[in-house]
Amino acid sequence: MVLLNSKSGPEALEVYDTLAAKFPKTPDLMVGGIKILADGVIEYPAQTASLSLPYKNLGTPGPEVIGTEKFKALVTAADKRGALVHIHAIGDLAATDALDAIAAARKANGDSRIPHTITHLEVVKPEDRLRFKALGVIASMQLLWSGADEYTTDLVKPYLDESLSKTLYPARSLADADAIVAGASDWPVTSPNPFLAMTVAITRQGTKGVLNPEEAMTAEQMLYAYTRNAAQAVRREDRIGSIEPGKAADLVLVDRDLLAAAPAEIADTKVLWTMFGGKKVFQADK
């Protein structure tokens, strides 16, 4: 993904055009589109995520970065030329602005069927949850973060309006609204191990307790999040993400049945071997 400035207009897509032409798509690598940072982070003391309600200690809701006609024009132009738009949005206002821009693109261009993606989504307005399915937008979430830990308990919840803090990491609400929830890690910020993230997503358990347990996902939902749904998020579902005739033989054998294992034990899952393109590329020591 080509990183563009959040305040860019359509003219910035010249960078994407140049790189896409220089590096044509191969089976394993492509210049897929553009990435935009719609806001910052929600934790104290930075508090640069864009919220609909003020931070308690600041009295302001954080900067609004992309709620502009210029940004809508950028997303519309990217969509028209077939580029995926991947938007970092942690606060609920940033998510609304991102959805508004994608809605503008859908209105202008029709349904391109490009699965534009919003990532992080630590807070999402209830009225926005149904818009993901309606607009064909994928919710790419880092659910390793969705437990009660030092970040959520000490650096986030005390500074948010309760109506926001009680809906942190609304994975189940998005899934119940028929949004496609894709698993992501945000590596190298945190671990890329999907089994750790699956355990937290299912239990919502962190080092300081359980966070908003009504937002817990099931093991089946998380398996789809890290396979089929993640493949859709990078527009490769025709090649990877499920075991079907004609798709790449990219397979991982693990040491337990993830659907039958106790949720807390999923984190201990070990990979026995990995196959990429029909060739075994990793074998665990016996």
Strand partners, 280: 275
Look at residue 258 in the predicted model and tell me its pLDDT. Answer: 97
* Positions of the chain with pLDDT under 70: none
Look at residue 286 in the predicted model and tell me its pLDDT. Answer: 78
All structural domains of the chain: 2-243 (3.20.20.140)
Look at residue 28 in the predicted model and tell me its pLDDT. Answer: 86
Look at residue 27 in the predicted model and tell me its pLDDT. Answer: 84
Can you tell me whether residue 76 is helix, strand or coil? helix
Burial of 102 (0-12, 13-18, 19+ CB in 10 A): buried
- Closest CA relative to residue 112, chosen from 79, 86, 84, 75: 79
Look at residue 13 in the predicted model and tell me its pLDDT. Answer: 98
Look at residue 147 in the predicted model and tell me its pLDDT. Answer: 98
Please write the tens of the pLDDT for every residue from 77-113. 999 999 999 999 999 999 999 999 999 999 999 999 9
Tokens standing for residue 137:
């937008």
